[in-house]
């Protein structure tokens, strides 16, 4: 006796296992990355959630990792490296979004001088320097440009290197850092957990 595989039609958001029948090519446009076609029948080439676009009649399998959002939204907490300083703003390249590590992220954020601290900041370089790693909140999004804020105790610089010798600066005051190697003092808008960040980052 031959047991025929189940030919149950695929349903949106159901779990599909590798090799599972999903439908026929007359019905759906199969995704090349996550499905394969044999004699007009579509099968899952990986395990994940079935995603059917009713309008375009497209079918694909999405893994849970892909379901994990990797885009930036207002209210997100991001960690990024300061790439440049301007007179009234800085540019940041995001390294993590909500504790998820981003590789080769092309997201860029800006912080205006008025959104750095509750206290008055006269010059950007009294708060940040290039190569600082900072934690910030996303305030606004406008055509892939993000406006960030570091106002608040937990936001600001979490790691900074001495601008003279490159050693990691140690916290010696509210917004004051000292280089243990060359003795130089520098100012920053630091987060409460400066250089003691304990969050576990996820891929």
Nearest C-alpha neighbor of 35 from the set 89, 47, 117, 26: 47
Told to check if 90 binds Zn ion by CB under 5 A, we report: no
**182 binds Zn ion per the rule CB under 5 A:** yes
**Cα–Cα distance, 94 to 176 (Å, whole number):** 25
3-state class (DSSP) for residue 151: coil
CA 78/CA 76 separation, integer angstroms: 6
Judged by CB under 5 A, the residue of 40, 181, 199, 201 near Zn ion is: 181
Q: Tell me the C-alpha distance between 116 and 96, whole Å.
A: 19
Residue among 92, 124, 127, 179 that touches Zn ion (CB under 5 A): 179
Q: Taking a C-beta distance cutoff of 8 angstroms, is the pair 56, 29 a contact?
A: yes
From the list 54-62, 89-97, 109-117, 154-162, the region that binds Zn ion by CB under 5 A is 154-162
Contact string 113-152 vs Zn ion (x = CB under 5 A): ----------------------------------------
Interface ranges with Zn ion (CB under 5 A): 162, 164-165, 167, 179, 181-182, 184
């Amino acid at each position: 006796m031959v047991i025929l595989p189940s030919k149950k039609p695929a349903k949106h958001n159901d779990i599909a296992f590798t090799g599972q029948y999903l439908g026929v090519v007359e019905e759906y446009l199969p995704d090349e990355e996550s499905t394969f076609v044999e004699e007009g029948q579509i099968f899952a080439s990986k395990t994940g959630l079935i995603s059917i676009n009713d309008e375009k009649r497209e079918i694909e399998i999405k893994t849970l990792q892909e379901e994990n959002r990797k885009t930036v939204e207002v209210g997100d907490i991001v960690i990024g490296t300061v790439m440049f300083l301007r007179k009234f703003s800085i540019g940041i390249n995001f390294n993590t979004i909500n504790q998820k590590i981003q590789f080769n992220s092309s997201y860029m954020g800006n912080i205006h001088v008025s959104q750095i601290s509750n206290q008055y900041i006269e010059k950007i370089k009294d708060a940040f320097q290039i190569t600082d790693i900072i934690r910030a909140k996303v305030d606004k999004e406008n055509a892939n440009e993000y406006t960030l804020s570091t106002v608040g105790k937990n936001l600001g610089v979490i790691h900074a290197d001495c601008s003279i010798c490159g050693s990691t600066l140690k916290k010696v005051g509210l917004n004051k850092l000292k280089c243990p190697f060359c003795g130089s003092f520098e100012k920053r808008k630091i987060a409460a957990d400066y250089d003691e960040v304990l969050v576990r980052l996820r891929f």
